[in-house]
Amino acid sequence: MAKQYETVIGLEVHVELATKTKIFCGCSTEFGGAPNTHTCPVCTGMPGSLPVLNKQVVEYAIAVGLATNCTITQYCKFDRKNYFYPDNPQNYQISQLYLPICRNGGVEIDTPAGKKIIGIHEIHMEEDAGKLVHDEWEDCSLVDFNRSGVPLIEIVSEPDMRSAEEVIAYLDKLRLIIQYLGASDCKLNEGSMRADVNLSVREVGATEFGTRTEMKNLNSFKAIARAIEGERARQIELLEEGKQVVQETRRWDDNKEYSYAMRSKEDAQDYRYFPDPDLVPIVISDEWIERIRKAQPELRTEKLERYKKEFDIPDYDAEILTSSKVLADLFEATTELCHKPKKVSNWLMVETLRLVKENDMEVEDIDFSPENLAKLIELAESGAINSSVAKEVFEKIFKEDIDPDKYVEEKGLKSVNDEGALRATIEKVIADNPQSVEDYHNGKEKAIGFLVGQTMKAMQGKANPGMVNKILKELL
Amino acid sequence: MANIISDETMEYVGILAKLELSEEEKKQAESDMGRMLDYIDKLNELDTTGVEPMSHVFPVNNVFREDVVVNGDDRENILKNAPGVKEGAFKVPKTVE
Ligand SMILES: [Zn+2]
């Protein structure tokens, strides 16, 4: 009988914190500026420059630690991790090895077999590196240090996951917690959340772990799932052939659906960590922790309960809306303006999510204002525009965040509610289509649909369908 | 000297520190490092049971900055330190991952 294998997975998740400035200097963390426009002597590692810790980084790290049930290390400090690479101008990365800020936590995930706790070994604070771009023309590399010094937390899980589904559930949970805390936007595609997967396989029933590999370059949930399947298959094949799995770092190529061993930097594992003498220790008092605990915003579970009680929407809607901080914020802000929770929910759950999917976006990329959605709902509910016009206007809001009042006015999309004008048009439609009128009188209910269509066409789609129906029946 | 640094160790440390030393410099460094380790051995003779490890020489902690942007665009000055410049970036020899 073929051997049965179990996959053992641990994750190292890097999250860029949502601070305005870098971890050790007053440079902006804004994404996408021209190369090196957000740099100073500190984040380019100039000799003699001195790092000073951004307090907000510590506060975010503590908040994430508390929300993931960790113990906060009340006396912690920074260490230097030494390695040479052009994206790291100091030749060391400031990180935490000996006394990471959070330890021994965990989050609960749902699996087909029930609830399961994924342990968190530690969370530490560190700085991000710069960005290297290869220049084909001159066959050289170009370094942009805008990202150098952007604050990161690295969340190191225990090797508690056994499948790609569990990994995705864990990442989803972390992402939701961190987004709700406002500590990061956690966009995988922009790199503000990055996951390295440590994976090994062993025979079912074995107590020892197999040799693990680490996989990098995973920038979507789909890529993570595919990489896990691919690496599991690769390792099992090696074992079946009687070969050894080599402990190494591999880079996942999502197009080729295969991972490649990364050229090992010479003796890269010897980082010679030591305490950073430029940074003084951090002492975190009980009061400080309590203050952060009290200021913790409402997390998903509480929000879900509140939605079910406070708003007249189905439980299913509440589940979907609270599954993303962006959706939940939009829902609440829009409902606050128009007081029609079910209508708001419908626009978000149906049209918004449809457009997100069609445009191959993430929910985090939604970027229209609650004011404009609220105005659109008013327009549709008052009958000022009909439902097909409303959908059309919504697409403009979704894409360009236009003001629907202005847009409808400018494009002349208002429904014609003027009964006199409508009546005249319908009279003409009836006169022009005697066959349909006869069909209708002969009991073909469907014929009225054709007449409604003709009327809408004559009114350029701007008639109020309810009114058209009413007048048609009356005249017939 | 109680601690002898082997040629292999010297080679390894040189690679880690990205240093290319002449034979003469290597011999000198081996003897310097041996004496440093001797000194560490001496320190290890002390009984430090119950003594908190020291994390920093200054009795200072919690030195923070507020999260406020104070640096503007100073690219021109920063790039003066670059070995080469292209398109606003530091130009360095080709690095392949
Ligand atoms: Zn800076």
Question: CB-based contact (8 Å) between A142 and chain B?
Answer: yes
Residue A14, judged by CB atoms within 10 A of its CB (0-12, 13-18, 19+), counts as middle
- The whole model's pTM is what? 0.83
Residue A461 has pLDDT above 80, yes or no: no
Per-residue pLDDT at A420: 74
Element (H, E) at B85: strand B85-86
- Cβ atoms within 10 A of the Cβ of A442, count? 8
Name the most confidently modeled range: A21-25, A138-142, A438-442, B69-73: A21-25
Nearest CB among A53, A144, A267 relative to B65 is that of A53
Minimum distance, in Å, between the CA of residue A261 and any CA atom of chain B:
10
Contact A20 B67 (CB under 8 A): yes
From ligand 1's centre to the CA of A51, what distance in Å? Answer: 9
- Chain B residues with CB under 8 Å of A82 CB are 16
More confident residue, A408 or A24: A24
Element (H, E) at B35: helix B23-44
- Identify the bridge partners of residue A133 per DSSP, sorted by sequence position: A142
Per-residue pLDDT at A209: 92
Contact B15 A86 (CB under 8 A): no
Structure tokens at A150: 């952007």
- Interface mutation vs chain A, best among B90, B94, B96, most A CBs within 10 Å: B90
Q: A373: pLDDT confidence band, cut at 50, 70 and 90? A: very high
Question: CB-based contact (8 Å) between A337 and chain B?
Answer: no
DSSP state of A28: B
Tell me the domain boundaries of chain B.
7-44
Mean predicted confidence (pLDDT) in A261-284? 81
More confident residue, A71 or A455: A71
Mean pLDDT of chain A: 91
Contact B62 A282 (CB under 8 A): yes
Contact A263 B92 (CB under 8 A): no
Is-contact A132 A143, C-beta < 8 A? yes
Convert the pLDDT of each residue in A120-177 to its tens digit.
Answer: 999 999 999 999 999 888 889 999 999 999 999 999 999 999 999 999 999 999 999 9
Tell me the domain boundaries of chain A.
5-288, 323-410, 419-475
Assigned CATH topology for domain B7-44:
Histone, subunit A (1.10.20)
Per-residue pLDDT at B97: 55
From ligand 1's centre to the CA of A119, what distance in Å? Answer: 35
More confident residue, B53 or B61: B61
Q: A266: pLDDT confidence band, cut at 50, 70 and 90? A: very low
Q: A376: pLDDT confidence band, cut at 50, 70 and 90? A: very high
Calculate ∠ Cα A80-A81-A83, nearest 5°. Answer: 130
Per-residue pLDDT at A267: 46
From ligand 1's centre to the CA of A44, what distance in Å? Answer: 7
Nearest CB among A20, A34, A263 relative to B88 is that of A34
- Chain A residues with CB under 8 Å of B88 CB are 34-37, 144
From ligand 1's centre to the CA of B72, what distance in Å? Answer: 9
Minimum distance, in Å, between the CA of residue B79 and any CA atom of chain A:
8
Beta strand pairing status for A249-253 and B64-65?
Answer: unpaired
Q: B34: pLDDT confidence band, cut at 50, 70 and 90? A: very high
Question: CB-based contact (8 Å) between A117 and chain B?
Answer: no
From ligand 1's centre to the CA of A39, what distance in Å? Answer: 4
Contact A21 B16 (CB under 8 A): no
Percent pLDDT > 70 in chain B is 97
From ligand 1's centre to the CA of A273, what distance in Å? Answer: 23
Q: A63: pLDDT confidence band, cut at 50, 70 and 90? A: very high
Nearest CB among B69, B90, B97 relative to A142 is that of B90
Mean predicted confidence (pLDDT) in A464-475? 78
Cα–Cα dist B88/B79, whole Å: 8
Per-residue pLDDT at B90: 96
- Chain A residues with CB under 8 Å of B92 CB are 86, 140-143
Per-residue pLDDT at A389: 87
Alpha-helix residue ranges (DSSP H) falling in A77-206: 164-181
CATH match for A419-475 among 3.40.190.10, 1.10.3720.10, 1.10.287.540, 1.10.10.410: 1.10.10.410
Residue A298 has pLDDT above 60, yes or no: yes
Per-residue pLDDT at A417: 66
Mean predicted confidence (pLDDT) in A203-218? 90
Task: Report helix, strand or coil for A237.
Answer: helix
Cα–Cα dist B31/B25, whole Å: 10
Is-contact A372 A445, C-beta < 8 A? no
Per-residue pLDDT at A455: 82
Per DSSP, the residues of A340-392 read -HHHHHHIIIIIIHHHHHHTT--GGG----HHHHHHHHHHHHTTSS-HHHHHH
Amino acid found at B30: E
A261 to chain B: nearest residue by CA?
Answer: B97
Q: A432: pLDDT confidence band, cut at 50, 70 and 90? A: confident
Per-residue pLDDT at A215: 92
Using CA atoms, how far residue A193 sits from A68, A137, A218, in Å, is: 17, 32, 10
Mean predicted confidence (pLDDT) in A279-303? 94
Convert the pLDDT of each residue in A22-58 to its tens digit.
Answer: 999 999 999 889 999 999 999 999 999 999 999 999 9
A265 to chain B: nearest residue by CA?
Answer: B97
Amino acid found at A390: A
Contact B95 A82 (CB under 8 A): no
Is-contact A252 A288, C-beta < 8 A? no
| C-alpha closest to that of A211 among A185, A236, A186 | A236
- Chain A residues with CB under 8 Å of B64 CB are 52-55, 58
Cα–Cα dist A26/A41, whole Å: 11
| C-alpha closest to that of A108 among A172, A45, A164 | A172
Burial B1-12 (b: 16+ CB within 10 A, else e): eeeebeeeebee
Per-residue pLDDT at A171: 95
Residue B36 has pLDDT above 90, yes or no: yes
ipTM of the complex: 0.90
Residue A359 has pLDDT above 50, yes or no: yes
Residue A263 has pLDDT above 70, yes or no: no
Per-residue pLDDT at A447: 81
Residue A1 has pLDDT above 60, yes or no: no
- Which residues are CB-neighbours of A102 under 8 A, at least 6 positions away? A61, A62, A64, A65, A68, A70, A71, A72, A73, A120, A122, A123, A124
